[in-house]
Amino acid sequence: GRAIRAEVALAAYTGGTGDRVQTLFRKRVDGTGDEERIWRGNDIVTAADWVHDGLTLIGTDLTPEARMGLFLVPLDGSPPRPILAAPGGQYGATLSPSGRHLAYTSIESGVDEVFVSTFPEGGGKWQVSSEGGQTPIWTRDGRRILFTKESAIWVADVDTSNGFRPSAPKPLLTGPYVL
């Protein structure tokens, strides 16, 4: 996994092979400077998205209990802290353009489903997908969430003017696609 923060041209990424899959690194996207270790997790870590402060990363780690968990990973060396401690685990998180909502995939029901929670406090929880869905992505205007389900890309309109209200999702493009 990787996340790119364009303002300062930094990329965060998993080491790739061997024991490096347990480590997140950052480096300038122009290739200058050295690779810097951000976080060493338990098993397999991925960079999901940057928090809008530009100083924190949302990362995923496969925990010792063999489930994926979401973590806030400060770039100042402070210890990562878990977010959204729901049963079953979560992965594939993405922050809304406003920075107020976090879309993610949860496996708590035994089927991958797309949920949204408020951010950073984690209050509120809304299911966006139905009968499966994963790897959500917000549109730039924050009015839609795209996600994969089986061999298609699905879309749900969202209203964040007074809380959070998703529409019933519908297929947008038939694939197969992987986001």
The pLDDT value given to residue 109 = 85
Q: How distant is the alpha carbon of residue 90 from its chain centre?
A: 9
- CB of 131 within 8 A of CB of 140? no
- For residues 161-171, average pLDDT: 92
Mean pLDDT (the chain) is 86
Residue 5 has pLDDT above 60, yes or no: no
Residue 4 has pLDDT above 60, yes or no: no
pTM of the model: 0.84
The pLDDT value given to residue 2 = 60
pLDDT digits (tens, 9 = 90+) for 84-118: 766 678 888 999 999 999 999 998 888 999 999 99
pLDDT digits (tens, 9 = 90+) for 7-41: 557 888 888 777 788 888 888 888 888 999 888 88
SS (H, E, C) the chain: CEEEEHHHCEEEEECCCHHHHHEEEEEECCCCCCCEEEEECCCCEEEEEECCCCCEEEEEEECCCCCEEEEEEECCCCCCEEECCCCCCEEEEEECCCCCEEEEEECCCCCCEEEEEECCCCCCEEECCCCCCEEEEECCCCCEEEEEECCEEEEEEEECCCCCEECCCEEEEECCCCC
The pLDDT value given to residue 105 = 93
**Is residue 139 very low, low, confident or very high in pLDDT (cuts 50, 70, 90)?**
very high
